[in-house]
Amino acid sequence: MLTDGLHDVPRGKVAMVVTHLEMHAPAPTRPQPLPKGITFRQRQPDLAWYRDIFSRVGALDWLWYGRLKMADTDLSAILADPKVAFYTLTRDGRDEAILELDFRQEGQCELAYFGLTSELIGTGAGRFLMNEAIRLAWMQPITRFHVHTCTIDSHLALSFYIRSGFTPYRRQVEIDDDPRLSGLLPEAAAPHVPIIRP
């Protein structure tokens, strides 16, 4: 158990505070039309599509890396699982968002990944996508919809989830190898998180 006060993070590691949030009934949504020129659609992703959209939405700006370090066979199993659903927003023929809903735990849905590329931020597309996430999750027989975010993600993420009707219920500290030092991500990724070399 951690005690109060400061705790050293080993060199070569990243540390983040993870906040877990949940809702136990559909949250009311604020109507948001889909911005002009953008379409919403479901995807049956392959590895190339998924790794591309995952990287463009989160890896370079926010240090998303969990799915990038997975073996192809393990990630392919998730992508092919009928209890995991994938959606995107498309503009000018290019997908610019990820919405991943994971129903593998009975009676629950995890908002596993949610985000937009910089091309759509500020257009209202994020609110539209969250409205769809809430609608689609609660169309299934669930009693809990949950998500987590962390302090190396966008500083807007936590407040957005709370405004969307999720309630924080748990906080954890996570420490992991810095993915930029292993070459998984470029060293220029997520400049708001400094690299501290071993």
Residues in the chain: 198
Domain for residue 4, yes or no? no
pLDDT tens digits for range 84-107 = 999 999 999 999 999 999 999 999
The reply to whether 22 falls in a domain is no
pLDDT digits (tens, 9 = 90+) for 36-57: 999 999 999 999 999 999 999 9
Query: Is 56 part of any domain?
Result: yes
Q: Is residue 161 part of a domain?
A: yes
Reported as a single tens digit per residue, the pLDDT across 106-125 is: 999 999 999 999 999 999 99
The beta-strand segments (E) located in the chain are 13-23, 38-43, 84-91, 94-95, 97-102, 108-116, 144-150, 167-177
Contact partners, residue 170, CB within 8 Å, separation at least 6: 19, 20
User: Is residue 191 included in any domain, yes or no?
Assistant: no
CATH code of the domain containing 160: 3.40.630.30
Please state the pTM of the whole predicted model. Answer: 0.95
Q: Is 197 inside a domain boundary?
A: no
Q: Match 């302090």 to its residue by tokens.
A: 151
Please report whether residue 17 resides in a domain: no
153 located within any domain? yes
